């Protein structure tokens, strides 16, 4: 599985919600996550240099 995440700063969340509803968007669920990030020994791979991440995400 490849997960793509886009982060954007928005000035008016209510405006975005309204636009989704106007396009027949449906609110399904609100989730919270607990993320744990790991790094490898630098001899193997430095995720800071490769712009990668190893993350375990737990939905709570």
Domain chopping of the chain, boundaries: 28-60
Give 1-58 as a DSSP string. ----------S-HHHHHHHHHHTT--------EEEEEE---TTT--HHHHT--EEEEE
pLDDT of residue 7: 82
Q: What is the pLDDT of residues 1-50, one digit of tens each?
A: 677 778 888 999 899 989 999 999 988 888 899 999 988 887 788 888 88
pLDDT of residue 31: 84
pTM score over 0.85: no
Give yes or no for a contact between 55 and 35, defined as CB atoms under 8 angstroms apart.
Answer: yes
């Amino acid at each position: 599985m490849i997960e793509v995440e886009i982060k954007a700063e928005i000035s008016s969340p209510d405006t975005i919600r309204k636009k989704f509803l106007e396009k027949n968007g449906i609110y399904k669920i609100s989730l919270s996550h607990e993320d744990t990030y790991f790094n490898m020994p630098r001899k193997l791979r430095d995720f800071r240099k490769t712009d990668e991440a190893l993350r375990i995400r737990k939905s709570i």
